Amino acid sequence: MRNKTFIVGALAVIVAAAAFFALGGPALLKGERRSQIAAAAANGDWLIGGHDAGQTYSSPLKKINADNVGQLGFAWSYDLNTTHGQSSTPVVVDGVMYVSAPWGFVHALDARSGKALWSFDPKVDSAITSKVCCGITNRGLSFHKGRVFVASIDGRLIALDARTGKMAWEVDTIIDHERGYTITGSTYIAGDLVVIGNSGAELDARGYVTAYDTQSGEQRWRFFTVPKNTTGPFENPELEMAAKTWDPNSFWEVGLGGTAWDGMAYDAELGLLYVGVGNSALYPRKLRSPSGGDNLFVSTILALHADTGRLAWHYQTTPGDQWDYTATQKMILADLEIDGRQRQVLMQAPKNGFFYVLDRATGELLSAEPYVPVTWASHVDMKTGRPVETGQASYSEEPRLVFPGPSGGHNWHPMAFNAQTQLVYIPAIEFPAIYWIPKEPFKYQKGGVNLGALYTFPIDKSVDWGPYAEGMPSLEELSKGQPDTTIRGYLRAWDPVAHKVAWQVETSEQWAGQMNAIWNGGGVMTTAGDLVFQGRSTGYLHAYRASTGEQLAKVNLGVSIMAAPMTYELDGEQYVAVMAGFGGALGGTHPEGTAAYRYGNAGKLIVLRLGGGAVPLPAEIKRDAKFAKPPAERQGTAETVALGKELFMRHCSICHKNNSAGGTVPDLRRINAKTYGEFEDIVLGGIRATRGMGSFKGQLTAPEVEAIRTSIIHDAWQAYESEQGPVGSESHKPNTPEADKAGAQK
């Protein structure tokens, strides 16, 4: 559940009515560069994924404002022809909207009417789905000098002619296709370079980021984020320094992680590209780097010289990470007055729960304060810049409950910065987890999931340990002395100078204490109209007063929302647009109460304007939430069931959460006779690869697949029988042929 944006660039002059094709520089630049950004924004263009070069997700438009936002209504929509989750933010240039969708599809639309101008299909082999960690998704595209740049999930970087959608060039960015490499993130522009990272740390990827020439597609440089050993040779000189922070006996074979799967930013004035680096792999230090060490450059913010790819400075948010604390969350560039001095800063709220303000020229730490409950560290030492670990979060010898969990205090969903309020709006989550290392020795699986640790969550105050129940402490024991373990989500307005919450809105709704509490609130956008917009899984787009958090409006779009909205202006009229569709770390499950559960999850781009009518809603789905009688009797021994549960947790649970009656990724407790009979062909043969279920051949054996099926049937009977009433009651019928016969005779 890692989920795994967005775009920055280099500036060029706007000539006459031509589109603003070259992007870059910080959000609050001086002189000519600033006037270019301001002119383009005033012209109605949303230039890059985060709106401006500072990645602020903030617009100066204010025709839609706190006084009239209640009049927002339907303008137009566009069907995306997919049920996978939508994570990207549209880009609008010269009246044309460009959107990226799962797999790496691109659609060019008339931004006034929604009329399709062209579409691009990357033609991905669906077998890649077995290597995808957290949903088939795409977090954005970039636009530069008449070309659109997008990455396909199978690792290709593609340049398209913005007028026609024809491919200008394509390059394979993956160094080893036998490993678990994919791309779910956005492309980024840095001068005349297009930059891309990759995903796969939960499998066996070794992270790197690569820059290509925007015109030719020629590789200009590549920066590996972790060494392949401590002795070299080193692909980039910085790895020699990094190697000293690893044990020579580290588990090199597994790749070590450090994937750059999401946030980057570019400062054209400084010539620096900022890259967020992801979590380590394996998770536990004990297995990954036995003698310890910081393990550079995992969970690190890198500042690279964009022209050469050489390191200018680095700041590691979580040295020796072992909790999946990525630093790939969105980074915002802005100018802040701190202690009476104007500072050029980089701001990030990574997974580890601390909000960082860094000098973006030097990497100097200016502040680091918790924006959610944090127990893995007591504070960040301002002299050394290092977190002071509490020790209670070390699970090398026994299970430990840790704040935050692997979803972090903030996941991939974009945060936003408003220059008027000087506040950062964070989709924050309070979500602990219980981590432990399995007793069985770790076995590396090439191309498969390789965590080395397991974790679970205190959902509804109970923990299902499954095959690990024996000897496990109770939740009460694990949570003793800890913050409230109730899972909650918030839209949190953070003051980056005063280091405190200015206001907050809880977004958990009916899911407080449940998984969907943290995924109910999506990405954020703010405007000069004193507004903050955020979508929810309920299908509503909410508008708040940016200065106070007062809810001013909400519009039912009929589709669950994860992505950050955007706004643009054409012909004197302002629009608000958002990509809608649920997915990602929830694994395609659709909890009851979400729009995806109620209406299905057909992805859409939905555009609103003042004075529009109600958004047309899909037809409601009629479903029976109760469990049907399983298609087969219980089978196998208790040991086989336990093995199957363990294998399911390691290989299947990233997607199949078993917590919903609806979704694009099914709850396997609801397995039907056809699926039951084809189970091995599905898992090993890949017969449902086109539907997102790739083959696990080479990762699982036939007996292991059978053990998984046995455990699923066991769980299906448990769920079915729990709905039949207490044992001994008239409504409860045991799972035996004799009972079936007796019931029929009655």
> Residue 663: which residues within 8 A CB-CB, separation 6 or more?
586, 587, 588, 589, 590, 596, 597, 601
Residues in the chain: 746
Go through 602-621 and write b for each residue having 16 or more CB atoms within 10 A of its CB, e for each that does not.
bbbbbbbbbebeebeeeeee
Element (H, E) at 712: helix 702-722
Are 144 and 22 within 8 A, CB to CB? yes
Give dist(CA 320, CA 697) in Å, integer: 33
The CA–CA distances, whole Å, from 15 to 9, 20, 170, 195, 595 equal 18, 8, 29, 26, 44
Is 464 one of the annotated active-site residues of the chain?
Answer: no
Dihedral angle sign, alpha carbons of residues 180, 184, 185, 191:
positive
Are 525 and 59 within 8 A, CB to CB? yes
Give dist(CA 337, CA 422) in Å, integer: 10
Output the DSSP codes for 435-453: EE--SSPP---TTS---SS
Straight-line distance from the first to the last Cα atom of the chain, in angstroms, rounded to the nearest whole number: 48
Closest C-alpha among 42, 44, 22 to residue 33:
22
Give dist(CA 23, CA 187) in Å, integer: 13
Task: List phi, psi (to 5°) of 232.
Answer: 85, -175
Task: List phi, psi (to 5°) of 459.
Answer: -90, 130
Closest C-alpha among 474, 512, 487 to residue 433:
487
Give dist(CA 639, CA 646) in Å, integer: 11
Parallel, antiparallel, or unpaired: how do β-strands 377-380 and 387-389 relate?
A: antiparallel
Report the Cα 537 to chain-centroid distance in Å: 15
Give dist(CA 541, CA 566) in Å, integer: 12
Which residue out of 192, 324, 530, 667 is catalytically annotated? 324
Closest C-alpha among 245, 307, 236, 314 to residue 275:
314
Give dist(CA 576, CA 566) in Å, integer: 6
Amino acid at 222: R
The conformational region for residue 608 under phi > 0 = left, psi -120 to 50 = alpha, else beta, is beta
Residues involved in catalysis? 324
